[in-house]
Structure 1
Amino acid sequence: MSRDRALLDRALERGEQDGGSVEFKERLLRDVHLEGGRRESLAAQLRHRLLSGDGEATYVVGVTDDGGLAGIDHDTFSESMDVLSLLAEEADAHIDDVQTWGIRSEAGTASGGLVGVARVRDGSILETDDEHLVVGTAGHVDHGKSTLVGSLVTGTADDGDGATRAYLDVQPHEVERGLSADLSYAVYGFDDDGPVHVRNPDRKADRAKVVEEADRLVSFVDTVGHEPWLRTTIRGLVGQKLDYGLLVVAADDGPTQTTREHLGVLLATELPTIVAITKTDAVSDERVEEVEREVERLLRDVDKSPLRVARHGVDAAVEEINERVVPIVTTSAITMEGLDTLDELFDRLPKTSQDAGEFRMYVDRSYSVTGVGAVASGTVMSGEVEAGDELLLGPMPDGRFQEVEVRSIEMHYHRVDRARAGRIVGIALKGVKESAIERGMVLLPREADPEPVREFEAEVMVLNHPTRIGDGYEPVVHLETIGEAASFSPENGRLLPGDTGETTVRFKFRPYLIEEGQKFVFREGRSKGVGTVTEVHPAD
């Protein structure tokens, strides 16, 4: 018997009792259970179950009144969870967790529908904090990005073999090879007593608990250091609404070409950045000093002012950090040197992104959840979104936008009723299949009147190119979460390394939502550059 199935069996064994916390429902439908006085009656019933369970109730959905496994289809289960969420809100409670199982039909197939167990807890759904920081990490492979983040969010020292990094590696082959191949996300927070750490990062409930308990949250978008995945790193730094960058440089290796490229991407986005020199336990004090000087030279070469926090203090770093001043902190995830300094910085640094404007979120990932349906995840770029909002999703490959509805919102495995700019969230959508959602699409309010864009004008700067850029040059353009091949037509016919000039950019395959002022990175092989959209042309 699986652990998950044991949870269902225990709920069925306990059964419905007048003074118990378990409730059986075959289904919950909007036009039946929310009409007339049913909503108030069912909310009162839920409140009774919560009181009987000391603030926690268990709803088994897809079963008969006597506990028989009836099973319901996916759409009906999703609607039942929507209705239960509304009833919980009426009872000043929230759905904390949902688990589902497929039930076999009489023919012996797994098409007999779903049965689910929903845990409902007392208290309204989390209100997120306006000072929630989002930090993007960057740096060369094996320089200790994920290990440093792992030690920060857990408050524990690494064992020297990357133990604190392991939970950030989201694919089995990444754990095996010790390399991260996709974006990972982590969270910790602060209250009046200091850092609020994640006890066991492998448990979703522990990460959700930090979101619930901390007065201030810090989310990390942990990117990829290996050169073959530079495209993924650019997506992490350009496609998220970041407040700060954290660039790591290993003391035993020093700045590399990848370090310079990642720094260039951070600077292209005008992101205030901290440099963490890692692995100081592995080298002498003299070597640490040498790497600090190398980092300072690297920063000065790109017209930035380095600020050693050990020399000038945290107060100076908090007051002076901006697009030009870059604090430098020496750290070790093994000895925990410098992590208290980073804690203090992340606790005190002001949020830089703003909530102004209508809701907008570029899709970074999509997936399907049993009993919930299609989920689009990404960082809220502006405005606010709530459960029940009606939105537009697109553009689709043909340029149209599709109407969808927000079923629910999750942030670091904690269900929330709304999300503001800067939050990394998963939004469950009604009205679209997961297969139709693509990275680079955008979610907008239904009343918006977006125009898909296939071609735009831009001012670009060529950072690196072996010869010259001419008409027909086809790099990959990274703008928000978009990563698409595009053709360049420079205004004067060509652009040389180091040049800044105007060019027409045309997406090769399909339109996207693009606006003036958006910044982007382009690359093709070892050729790289940055740009700003200056004018857009609606798709033809």
Structure 2
Amino acid sequence: MSPDRAVLERAIERGEREGGSVEFKERLQRDVHLSDGRRESLAAQLRHRVLSGDGEATYVVGVTDEGGLAGIPPAQFSESMDVLSLLAEEAGAHIEDVQTWGVDPSNADSAANRSPPGDAGGEGGRGDGTHGGTRGDAVGQDATSGLVGVATIREGGILDVDDSHIVVGTAGHVDHGKSTLVGSLVTGQADDGDGGTRGYLDVQPHEVERGLSADLSYAVYGFDDDGPVRMDNPHRKSDRARIVEESDRLVSFVDTVGHEPWLRTTIRGLVGQKLDYGLLTVAADDGPTKTTREHLGVLLATELPTIVAITKADVVSEDRLREVEREIERMLREADRSPLRIDRHGVDAAVEEIGETVVPIVTTSAVRMEGVDVLDELFERLPKTAGADGEFRMYVDRTYNVTGVGAVASGTIMSGEVEAGDELLIGPMPDGGFREVEARSIEMHYHRVDHAEAGRIVGIALKGIPESEVERGMVLIPRESEPTAVREFEAEVMVLNHPTRIDDGYEPVVHLETVSEAAAFYPEGGTLLPGDKGRATVRFKFRPYLVEEGQRFVFREGQSKGVGTVTDVHPAE
């Protein structure tokens, strides 16, 4: 018997008992269970179950009063979860987790001790930690299939977080210790010298096996009045939720990719997120590399306040450490930035001076936990830089299909705020149109929130669109907006590197917010040389996106790289 199915079996075996923490529900309906006083009665019942379970209750949905596996259609299961969420909120609790299994209602066994056919359960935690639940790849494929689910409900209302939340994007060459350093920061655990703490961030088995990150990963820790609030077990999504719940200030990391073949993914992580700060790592045994300089160029081109962390200080001599420090200072000055050594000038100076022209430098060792306290103090004190003004806007970075919930779009909120139940638009679709959807629920680092603001990395469950139609680069905005899809725009560009010259029709990949799309460039005057600044018309090759004046972007093709700012847009034809 799989451990996931054992969760369902144990809940049914425990059964409904007076004074117990388990409740069976075949289905919950808005028009039935939230009207005529039933809402208050059912909320009181839920509160009783939570108290009976010392702060935790289990609701089994899709079963009869006797525990028989009835199964209900996905749409009804989704409605039941919405109603259960409202009842939990009324009772001062929240849904912590949902696991689901598929059954065929026509063959559903009414005996409580039999296993549900078509078992497709399995906990659905993902690398970005944005939306809990269960991914049912095999559930709901047949028109006759229904769902049975186990919802874990915990005491405490849906979390409402404040503005003390900064988002940090990491960058640096492969094997320069980005993920290892972040792993030690969020856990407070020293590395074993073989990158053991980096395993807390990697989300794909082949990444762990090879020791290389191939996609963006996420981590979080926080601070309260007593100092850092760190993770006990980062692999357990409830631990991430605990950090969010207990902390007065949160620090989220978007950990990017150091290997050259995945530079496109790194650019997406640095350009497509609403970051407050950049953390560039340079290994003391290797020093600044070509990739280091490329990543620094992207950080500075996006005007992101940046900290340089020298890693692996434990594996080199003092003389080598001083040599690498001088190389980094020289690299920063060549980029018209002033280095600020924290060991000389202190954390106060770093907090006051960090910005467009000053880059603090800190020496670290994840093995000896050297410099971790300095970074802690920095991240606890640094102000949030990403503003929350304007209407809600979130560019989609990843999409998921969660059984019983539906399409989930995750990304970083670029501006404004969103609440569960908000009516939104998503798009543009390939034809330039926008689709009406509803924000069914919102999660941040595996914790349900009732609303979220600019800078938060969240997952939003969407009602009104299948996951197959949601794509990276689309945007979520309020329904009352009047968006216009853009196929072509004007821009001020600067060529950072190119082997020859850029002529009309040059086709790099443009990275703008979470958009990564091939585009044709038409420079004003017909040509741009390396180091040139000028104007150009840029046209997406395959489809339109939502683009606005003032947005910054990076373009890349082979060894050619550049940055730009949108100055005017042309509506899609």
Q: Give the structure-2-normalised TM-score.
A: 0.93
Q: Which residue of 2 aligns with 1:156?
A: 189
Q: Which residue of 2 aligns with 1:39?
A: 39
Structure 1 Cα separation of the partners of residues 433 and 533 of structure 2? 34
The answer to whether 1:175 aligns with 2:208 is yes
Q: Which residue of 2 aligns with 1:217?
A: 250
Question: In structure 2, what residue type is equivalent to 1:195?
Answer: P
Structure 2 Cα separation of the partners of residues 140 and 129 of structure 1? 34
Q: How many residues align?
A: 540
Q: Which residue of 2 aligns with 1:24?
A: 24
Q: Secondary structure at the match of 1:428?
A: strand
Q: Which residue of 1 aligns with 2:528?
A: 495
* Structure 1: runs of 5+ lacking an equivalent: none
CA pair 18-35 structure 1, distance change in 2 beyond 3 A: same
Structure 2 Cα separation of the partners of residues 416 and 408 of structure 1? 8
- Deviation per CA, 1:121-163, whole angstroms, max 9, x where unpaired? 2221111120101000000011010000001101001111111
Question: In structure 2, what residue type is equivalent to 1:73?
Answer: P
Q: Which residue of 2 aligns with 1:137?
A: 170
Structure 2 Cα separation of the partners of residues 169 and 96 of structure 1? 23
| Partners of 1:129 and 1:217 within 8 A in 2 | no
Structure 1 Cα separation of the partners of residues 565 and 396 of structure 2? 21
Structure 1 Cα separation of the partners of residues 538 and 106 of structure 2? 58
User: Which of 154, 158, 164 is the matching residue for 1:125?
Assistant: 158
Shifted more, 471-480 versus 4-13: the winner is 4-13
Question: In structure 2, what residue type is equivalent to 1:49?
Answer: R
Q: Which residue of 2 aligns with 1:245?
A: 278
Q: Which residue of 2 aligns with 1:325?
A: 358
| Partners of 1:28 and 1:79 within 8 A in 2 | yes
- Deviation per CA, 1:317-352, whole angstroms, max 9, x where unpaired? 011111110000000110111111001100111111
Structure 1 Cα separation of the partners of residues 261 and 228 of structure 2? 35
* Pairwise CA distance, 1:104: 4.8
1:141-540 → structure 2 map (5 Å cutoff): 141-540=174-573
- Deviation per CA, 1:340-385, whole angstroms, max 9, x where unpaired? 1001100111111111111000000001111111100000111111
| Partners of 2:72 and 2:105 within 8 A in 1 | no
| Partners of 1:369 and 1:375 within 8 A in 2 | yes
* Pairwise CA distance, 1:414: 1.0
Structure 1 Cα separation of the partners of residues 214 and 334 of structure 2? 30
CA RMSD of aligned residues (A): 1.1
| Partners of 2:414 and 2:454 within 8 A in 1 | yes
* Pairwise CA distance, 1:105: 5.4
Structure 2 Cα separation of the partners of residues 503 and 390 of structure 1? 37
Q: Give 4+ residue runs of structure 1 displaced > 6 Å after superposition.
A: none
- Deviation per CA, 1:516-538, whole angstroms, max 9, x where unpaired? 00000000000000000000111
* Pairwise CA distance, 1:18: 2.5
Question: In structure 2, what residue type is equivalent to 1:232?
Answer: T
- Deviation per CA, 1:97-116, whole angstroms, max 9, x where unpaired? 11112225556963542111
Question: In structure 1, what residue type is equivalent to 2:418?
Answer: V
Q: Give the structure-1-normalised TM-score.
A: 0.98
Q: Which residue of 1 aligns with 2:149?
A: 116
Q: Which residue of 2 aligns with 1:97?
A: 97
Shifted more, 22-31 versus 98-107: the winner is 98-107
- Deviation per CA, 1:216-258, whole angstroms, max 9, x where unpaired? 1100000000000000000000000000000000000000010
* Pairwise CA distance, 1:38: 2.0
Question: In structure 2, what residue type is equivalent to 1:23?
Answer: E
The answer to whether 1:75 aligns with 2:75 is yes
Q: Secondary structure at the match of 2:196?
A: coil
Structure 2 Cα separation of the partners of residues 367 and 163 of structure 1? 28
Question: In structure 2, what residue type is equivalent to 1:534?
Answer: T
Structure 2 Cα separation of the partners of residues 399 and 146 of structure 1? 39
* Pairwise CA distance, 1:23: 1.0
Question: In structure 1, what residue type is equivalent to 2:53?
Answer: G
- Deviation per CA, 1:160-200, whole angstroms, max 9, x where unpaired? 11110013112111111111000000000111111111111
